[in-house]
Amino acid sequence: MSTKDKNTPFNDVEQRLAKDPDSLMTLQNQQQIPQSYIDGLKSDKWDSRSTRAGDYMRVASIPAVVYDQWKREGFDALKEPPKEILKRLKQQNLDAFITTNKRVY
């Protein structure tokens, strides 16, 4: 299955209030990502080996909850070069969202 399959259900970011042990309330964001979507990303990554890159090449598929967190940390994935996005995904053990095996400059 590829991520090009439009039938994969994908959930929006949910927010909830959580109480920590010190009785402080925090706002938590979460997003459920179906395993079928992750499997599709893996397939896309594997297929990238035999696909010729054109002017544009998809290098990652970043979930909204990750993008929002990065924005709060001062990293805007829409303004950063692909190489930096891949580096950040790898640093945070989010390799499952990388969709290419090709070298990115």
Instruction: Using DSSP, state whether 51 is helix, strand or coil.
Output: coil
Amino acid 3: pLDDT: 53
Task: Point out which residues pair with 16 in neighbouring strands.
Answer: 28
Residue 54 tokens read as 């054109």
* Residue 104, pLDDT score: 80
* Total H helices, total E strands in the chain: 3, 2
Structural domain tally of the chain?
A: 1
Task: Give one DSSP letter per residue of 3-14, joined into a string.
Answer: TT-TTS--PPPE
Residue % of the chain over a pLDDT of 90: 41
What is the Cβ-side half-sphere exposure of residue 103, based on CA atoms within 13 angstroms? 1
- Tell me if 102 is assigned to some domain: no
DSSP state of 52: P
d(CA 18, CA 28): 7
Question: How high is the mean pLDDT of the chain?
Answer: 84
Range of the domain at 56: 14-97
Residue 72 has pLDDT above 80, yes or no: yes
The band of 55, judged by pLDDT with boundaries at 50, 70 and 90, is: low
Q: Which residue has the higher pLDDT, 41 or 27?
A: 41
